[in-house]
Chain A
Amino acid sequence: MLKLDNICLQVSGDNGEYVEILKGLNIEIEKGKVYAITGPNGGGKTSIAKVIMGIYKHSQGHIYMEGEDISELSVTERARRGIGYAFQQPPRFKGLTIKDVMGIASPQADLIKIRTYLRDVGLCPEDYLDRDLGTGLSGGEIKRIEMAQLLLRAPKISIFDEPEAGVDLWTIQKLLRLIVSRYKNNPNKTALIITHNEKIIPVCDQILVVDGGVITVQGTPKEIWHLIKDDIECKVRDQCQGDVFYEIR
C-alpha cells in the first residue's frame, strides 16, 4: 500500500547547518490496518507524516503508493491520490466557516453527511456549521473539526497527528471508537496514528516506535509492550486530567 524506502530528511538548524531528522527510514504500510507511530518527542514522528503528505521534501529515498513512486508529487497530487492528514496543530482561517472547510474536504458530501460527522466528533452541527474558523474556537474544538474533516474525506490513507493533543478525555475515547470503527478490519482504508496515548496504542494492529529518525521497534501491541517492558526504560506518568501516558527514553 505505502512504502517508505530509505527516506532521509534534512532540515536547516539554528546555526545554519543541516540536521538529519530522518535517517534512512524504511516502513511498509499494509492496506486495511491501523498503525500507531509512537516514540519520544523530537524522534521524527510528525516528520514522517509530513514527508508522506509531501509537506516536507525528503533528501534521499523513495515513497511508493500502490506501487507508484510518488516522491516527486505535490501535496495536492498526493491528496488526490488518496492520502489525508489531520494536522497536530491545525491552522485557523478567518472568514471560512466550518461548513466551508468540510465542503472542501469532501465536495460531494451533502449537509446531512457533514452534520453527521460533526456530531460524531462531539460537535453540535447547529452550533458549529456557520462558525468562523478564525476566532472564537478553542484548540480542542479546532482539533475535533480537523478530525471530522479527515474522517469525512475518508482517503485511502489517513494520518492522524496526535489526535489526543488538546482534546478532553471523554472526546479521546469517542474519537478512538470512531477511528476503530472506521478503519479496523476495513480492507480499503489504512490509518496511521501518531500518538503517545496508551489507550490508543493497544487497539492498533501495528506499532512503530520512532527514535532518532529511524524505526527502533516494530510489532503488534503485544510484542511492543513486551519489548518496552524488557528493553526500553519506560516511564509512566500522569498527565492531562489523570490520563496515563508513557514516555520512551
Chain B
Amino acid sequence: MKLDKLDLSLLNTVADLQGIPTGAYNIRLNGAAVMRQSSPNITVGPRPDGTGLLVEIKPGTVGETVHVPVMLTQPGFQDKVYNTFVVGEGADATIIAGCGIHNESHAISRHDGIHEIIVKAGAKLRYLEKHYGEGSENGKRILNPTTVITIEAGASAELEMVQIKGVDDTIRSTVAHIHEKGSLKIVERLLTQEEQKAESDVQIHLEGNGSAAQVLSRAVAQGSSFQLFRAALIGKAVCLGHVECDAILMDKARIRSIPELQAENAEAVLTHEAAIGKIAGEQLVKLMSLGLTEKEAVDTILEGFLR
C-alpha cells in the first residue's frame, strides 16, 4: 500500500519520518497494519490474540530502532490496539511510537493505545511517543494512551511522551514497576488549547532495592483548556524517586497538579516539586529587549519550555 500526502505528513509530525523507515517498523492506518517489516534483531508480528502487535527485540541488540506509528485519517474512526514490546536482556534500543489524527468531520475520532513494555534485565530502552491532532471541523480528536512498563533488575528506560497539539481529550495512564537497580525517567510534555482536556495519571512502583525513578512534567495550558496531572511514587524498597511538575498557565486555562508520595520502606527517598504560573513578565521583557515582539517572545518561551 502506498501512503498519501496526508499520511506522510502525519508520519513526519508524530515520528519524524520523511517516508518509510529502514529497519523494523509497523505502520498502522485506520485500524489496520498497512506496512510491516522485521529486522534480523527485531521481530514485529501480531499478538497471539490478534489485538495488536508483539515486538521482540533480541537480547544484546544495540543501537537499533523500531517505529510503530499510528494514523487515523478516516472521519469518525475509533481504534483500539494492544501492543506488547519485549526488550531482550542487555539490549539497547529505541521504540518510536506516536499517533496522529486527522479528522475533517463532526464525528469523534479516537485512538486507545495500550502498550505493555517489558525491559529485561540489564537492557536499556528509549521510548518516544508524540501525539497530534488536526482538522477544521468540530469532530473531536481523542487519544488515550496506556503504558504499563516493567523494568527488570539493572535495566533502565527513558520515556518521552509529548502531546504536540490538536488533541481535544486525552486520558493518559502510565504504570511502572521497577525492580532491583532498575531506573526509569519519564518526561511528559503537554500542550492544551481552546476547550481541550488532558488528564495524566502516572504511578510508579519502586519495588527493588536500588531502584530509581524521575518524572518530569512540563505543561502549557492555553485558552479554556484543563489539565490534571497526578503522579504517585510508591517506594517499597531502598529507592530514590522524584516528581517535578512545571506548568505555564495562560488565558482562562486551569491546571491541577497532584503529586503523591507513598513510602513503605524507611530507606525510600521520595521527593516532589510543582510550580504552576503564568509566563514571568521579566522573561518577556528580556526577550523583547533582544528585539523580539511580545508574541515572538511568548512563542519562544513556550517552544523552549515544551522542547
A163 part of interface (Cβ distance < 8 Å): no
A91 and B289 within 8 A (CB): no
Q: Which residues in window 68-127 of A have CB below 8 A to B?
A: 74-76, 79-80, 84-85, 87, 90-91, 93-96, 100-101, 104-105
Stretch from B43-51, B73-81, B277-285 at the A interface: B277-285
A55 part of interface (Cβ distance < 8 Å): yes
Q: How far is the CA of A90 from the CA of B286 in the complex (A)?
A: 8
B96 part of interface (Cβ distance < 8 Å): no
B290 and A95 within 8 A (CB): no
Give how many A-B residue pairs fall within 8 Å (CB-CB): 53
Q: How far is the CA of A231 from the CA of B290 in the complex (A)?
A: 40
B307 part of interface (Cβ distance < 8 Å): yes
Q: Smallest distance from the beta carbon of B276 to chain A beta carbons, Å?
A: 13
Chain A residue nearest in CB terms to B288: A75
B280 and A94 within 8 A (CB): no
Chain A residue nearest in CB terms to B302: A95
Contacts A76-B294, A104-B300 known; A95 to B307 CB distance under 8 Å?
A: yes
**Please, what's the 1-or-0 string for B256-300, where 1 marks a CB less than 8 Å from any CB in chain A?**
000000000000000000000000101101111111111000001
Which one of B288, B290, B300 has the highest number of Cβ atoms from chain A below 10 Å of its Cβ? Answer: B290
B292 and A85 within 8 A (CB): no
Q: Which residues in window 1-48 of B have CB below 8 A to A?
A: none
CB < 8 Å neighbour of A104 from B283, B290, B305: B290
* Contact residues in B for A84 (Cβ distance below 8 Å): 289-290
CB < 8 Å neighbour of B283 from A55, A74, A91, A153: A91
Contacts A93-B283, A95-B304, A104-B300 known; A79 to B289 CB distance under 8 Å?
A: yes
Q: Smallest distance from the beta carbon of B277 to chain A beta carbons, Å?
A: 12
* Contact residues in A for B286 (Cβ distance below 8 Å): 87, 90-91
* Contact residues in B for A100 (Cβ distance below 8 Å): 304
A55 and B218 within 8 A (CB): no
Q: How far is the CA of A121 from the CA of B306 in the complex (A)?
A: 29
Contacts A95-B304, A95-B305, A96-B300 known; A76 to B282 CB distance under 8 Å?
A: no
Contacts A76-B293, A76-B294 known; A93 to B288 CB distance under 8 Å?
A: no
B285 and A55 within 8 A (CB): yes
Chain A residue nearest in CB terms to B303: A95
| Size bracket, chain B contacts | 20 to 34
Q: Smallest distance from the beta carbon of A128 to chain B beta carbons, Å?
A: 16
B194 part of interface (Cβ distance < 8 Å): no
* Contact residues in B for A74 (Cβ distance below 8 Å): 288
* Contact residues in B for A53 (Cβ distance below 8 Å): 289
B164 part of interface (Cβ distance < 8 Å): no
A206 part of interface (Cβ distance < 8 Å): no
A149 part of interface (Cβ distance < 8 Å): yes
Q: How far is the CA of A153 from the CA of B289 in the complex (A)?
A: 11
* Contact residues in B for A91 (Cβ distance below 8 Å): 280, 282-283, 286
CB < 8 Å neighbour of A76 from B280, B291, B300, B303: B291
Q: Smallest distance from the beta carbon of A145 to chain B beta carbons, Å?
A: 12
Q: How far is the CA of A94 from the CA of B217 in the complex (A)?
A: 12
Q: How far is the CA of A91 from the CA of B287 in the complex (A)?
A: 10
Q: How far is the CA of A105 from the CA of B306 in the complex (A)?
A: 21
CB < 8 Å neighbour of A149 from B290, B292, B303, B306: B290
B293 and A94 within 8 A (CB): no
B301 part of interface (Cβ distance < 8 Å): yes
B304 and A94 within 8 A (CB): yes
A79 and B305 within 8 A (CB): no
A76 and B304 within 8 A (CB): no
* Contact residues in A for B282 (Cβ distance below 8 Å): 87, 91
**Please, what's the 1-or-0 string for A118-161, where 1 marks a CB less than 8 Å from any CB in chain B?**
00000000000000000000000000000001000100000000
Chain A residue nearest in CB terms to B283: A91
* Contact residues in A for B283 (Cβ distance below 8 Å): 91, 93
Chain B residue nearest in CB terms to A97: B304
Interface CB pairs A-B, < 8 A, 28: A55-B285, A74-B288, A75-B288, A75-B289, A76-B288, A76-B291, A76-B292, A79-B289, A79-B290, A79-B291, A80-B291, A84-B289, A85-B289, A87-B282, A90-B286, A91-B283, A93-B283, A93-B304, A94-B246, A95-B303, A95-B306, A95-B307, A96-B300, A96-B301, A96-B304, A101-B290, A104-B290, A104-B291
User: Taking beta carbons and an 8 Å cutoff, which residues of B are in contact with A?
Assistant: 218, 246, 280, 282-283, 285-294, 300-301, 303-307
User: Taking beta carbons and an 8 Å cutoff, which residues of A are in contact with B?
Assistant: 53, 55, 74-76, 79-80, 84-85, 87, 90-91, 93-96, 100-101, 104-105, 149, 153
